[in-house]
Structure 1
């Protein structure tokens, strides 16, 4: 029997996707995990069950690797070869087999270069500086990994940017790297002389301006190509023809989607299931397809942007060791479970077959448990946000952002975790097929016949 399980985060990311994918890979003995969006910014934490647990935060390899599943990076992934080499090293230190031996990479995947990452970071630093000096809009929120600049370069220059398939062509590789360095040098913002020497700014400018970049970058990419398996797009069709289960693993969350998220606090990536659906359609996949939405039992987000149900006391009560303050993503913020956001996420990610609710254990011991049922904003009661009718309207999304920044949450009490689950199930009209009360696969409980 063939089965494809498509996973999607219904929040702003950090819903526990890695933990869920690891569980699904073990439960269904999945042969492959397919990454269908995002890039090296993923932080999917997996802790293995047993007396001697191992822990790895997956970024580019599929989160089923410690469960024995192979990885395929689709053409919708943004590849960072240098970061992937570091990640592979940690997996090997855990005693896992060489992950590159069980990984294939679509030749059409975009490659993030150090130049695009540096330009990304300099732009975000400049936004923060403008915010500190005036009332102008500040940081958009960034992972600092070069995702946006890589996508922007592709939209501007098409085939002149770097793809995974170019890494094995030395002359093409060097020409494209020289081009991208020049492009990103031109895009990088200037800073006042009294700030240009700061540690963060100077480090990124040094990356862009260093004349000896080829001396270290080309050998590093050569090391990567000796280990990596770059394949044509049709290779995924072969994977999907195999019997057994395939897990499609997403990155970030629906509320950060480039077109459906709350502009400008979004990612340059499609975070709905659209890419996964397209890959299955291109392969003529005829197996069973299950579409699983994932949410924490409370709301979270990194850095700037709306989080209507945010609660400073809850943020202090629920610190997350895997999601602290970061130089680029900034603060990790926590709020009560937000049904308005979940309704919106469901509308833009439909259809879904089931939900997985994670981090139920984090609610134990809270003196009170609440859920945000609606917002109050501009004298109106808001229970639903209407998605943009055309689907690609950034002005509409920006107006939603401005609305959300003016809203206040209306909170209702719930009597424990089971009551919360019942409320979510009834409100969204979708069965909850999986709940998680801890980091390992042993902490997961399947509900109903699906699992």
Structure 2
């Protein structure tokens, strides 16, 4: 990992790759974990000795004693969702005070953001993106429009009152005119969010200063992505993407830590692929195999409960993701979900209009023209659950992982063979790199 003791960890496809568990496992080796993008639309599930934690805004590192959690400036913060999550963690005895910090530059989600998103997503004639309707997109819109409210402004009661009055006048007018939505009351909104600001204030600091100082002091920092690289606003399957920079580049802009201070990039991929919501999915399965993977992998959204679409591993997409992120290491999750597959097709290339290609199309028409080219590998057809040493995996499972590594261009560092923290194997080369 070189002498720089920091790493970005992100989803290699469309999210839901099991990053939460992997961040939790790796956070034992890190002093701080910083979220750099997204909002409370990203659910990370962590299971520790059978106990389940679903984190949405709060970085998974806080589940480790002594590991600090940071919500970076690239995140959009819903104050109510944050306080609700803090309460749940405190209720189970986790020490949050002094362990968790929010950037004073993060943007704030307010009720009118949810109102606008919900109305727009359900408006006649609009292309459905499949959002969670939690106000994420409209909050980022306001950020880019330079009319958003930042956490530092949330703590200024006079500014907060004026901002809410002006924003409600504008948003109520727009929502009523376009969608016939009932108006929101700025007075009650101000009172609710002024109270929330008082509870949030102890967590707020300049996290860019904090993170850079930690690196200066020789501490290890992990930058935790949300969603996945193919949902990135620039490099994903636009317009069916999220509203922020989910790639490794987002870690730089979303925390205020320069690119030369980040030592490595770790991509998380399932042994197969899933996607939630609308959008292209070249290797989507339309037969009983999808039901098998969904049932065995519990493929339902941690936040929304929505069933995930399932597909075979797509190597052209994985290579593209590895390229745009500079991925050095891969973590393969849900290996055990494939235990009952007799044959495992893996997409190794695309045909577009009869031409073999490895180039990912930029537009929707290109995706619609893709015919995946498959190589079929034999399934191992026995249990891999809980195996923590590579050599103890069935030979056909080892062959599958070696094929994935060779074809993807990144080194496999870890393999997850079950949902629990303990059901994880770390390969020796990766273990050595983490010590650097």
SS in 2 for 1:101: coil
2:175 to 177, 188, 191: 188
Residue 295 (1) aligns with residue 284 (2)? no
Inter-CA distance 344–282: structure 2 relative to 1 (3 Å threshold): closer
Paired with 2:53 and 2:63, the residues of 1 have a C-alpha distance of 9
Inter-CA distance 95–262: structure 2 relative to 1 (3 Å threshold): same
1:404 to 349, 367, 373: 367
- Aligned ranges for residues 330-349 of structure 1 at < 5 Å? 331-349=307-325
2:424 match: 444
2:32 match: 32
Inter-CA distance 301–329: structure 2 relative to 1 (3 Å threshold): farther
Inter-CA distance 303–339: structure 2 relative to 1 (3 Å threshold): same
CA RMSD of the aligned region, Å? 2.6
Deviation at residue 324 of structure 1 after TM alignment? 2.8
Paired with 2:300 and 2:312, the residues of 1 have a C-alpha distance of 18
Residue 61 (1) aligns with residue 58 (2)? yes
Paired with 2:7 and 2:317, the residues of 1 have a C-alpha distance of 23
1:90 match: 88
1:163 to 137, 150, 169: 150
- Aligned ranges for residues 224-243 of structure 1 at < 5 Å? 224-231=199-206, 233-243=208-218
1:118 to 110, 115, 120: 115
Deviation at residue 445 of structure 1 after TM alignment? 0.7
Paired with 1:177 and 1:255, the residues of 2 have a C-alpha distance of 34
Paired with 1:179 and 1:323, the residues of 2 have a C-alpha distance of 42
1:218 to 193, 206, 214: 193
Deviation at residue 322 of structure 1 after TM alignment? 6.1
- Aligned ranges for residues 119-138 of structure 1 at < 5 Å? 119-126=116-123, 129-130=124-125, 138=127
Paired with 1:10 and 1:413, the residues of 2 have a C-alpha distance of 22
Inter-CA distance 284–309: structure 2 relative to 1 (3 Å threshold): closer
Paired with 2:303 and 2:47, the residues of 1 have a C-alpha distance of 25
Paired with 1:326 and 1:55, the residues of 2 have a C-alpha distance of 11
Inter-CA distance 233–297: structure 2 relative to 1 (3 Å threshold): same
TM-score, with structure 1 as normaliser: 0.83
Inter-CA distance 212–229: structure 2 relative to 1 (3 Å threshold): closer
Deviation at residue 212 of structure 1 after TM alignment? 4.8
2:378 match: 415
Deviation at residue 39 of structure 1 after TM alignment? 1.4
Inter-CA distance 224–281: structure 2 relative to 1 (3 Å threshold): closer
Deviation at residue 330 of structure 1 after TM alignment? 5.3
Residues 164 and 230, structure 1, Cα contact 8 Å, conserved in 2 = no
Inter-CA distance 448–304: structure 2 relative to 1 (3 Å threshold): same
TM-score, with structure 2 as normaliser: 0.86
- For structure 2, the residue ranges without an aligned partner over 5 or more in a row are 380-396, 432-436
Inter-CA distance 337–107: structure 2 relative to 1 (3 Å threshold): same
SS in 2 for 1:412: strand
Could you list the per-position Cα deviations for residues 236-257 of structure 1 after superposition, in whole angstroms to 9, with x for gaps in the alignment?
A: 2223233332211000111011
- For structure 1, the residue ranges without an aligned partner over 5 or more in a row are 131-136, 197-204, 387-396
Residues 108 and 233, structure 1, Cα contact 8 Å, conserved in 2 = no
Inter-CA distance 7–326: structure 2 relative to 1 (3 Å threshold): closer
Inter-CA distance 282–71: structure 2 relative to 1 (3 Å threshold): closer
The number of residue pairs the alignment matches comes to 409
Q: Which region of structure 1 is more displaced relative to structure 2, 294-303 or 240-249?
A: 240-249
Deviation at residue 294 of structure 1 after TM alignment? 1.0
2:330 to 337, 347, 355: 355
Deviation at residue 141 of structure 1 after TM alignment? 2.1
2:139 to 129, 150, 163: 150
Paired with 1:368 and 1:264, the residues of 2 have a C-alpha distance of 34
Inter-CA distance 36–214: structure 2 relative to 1 (3 Å threshold): closer
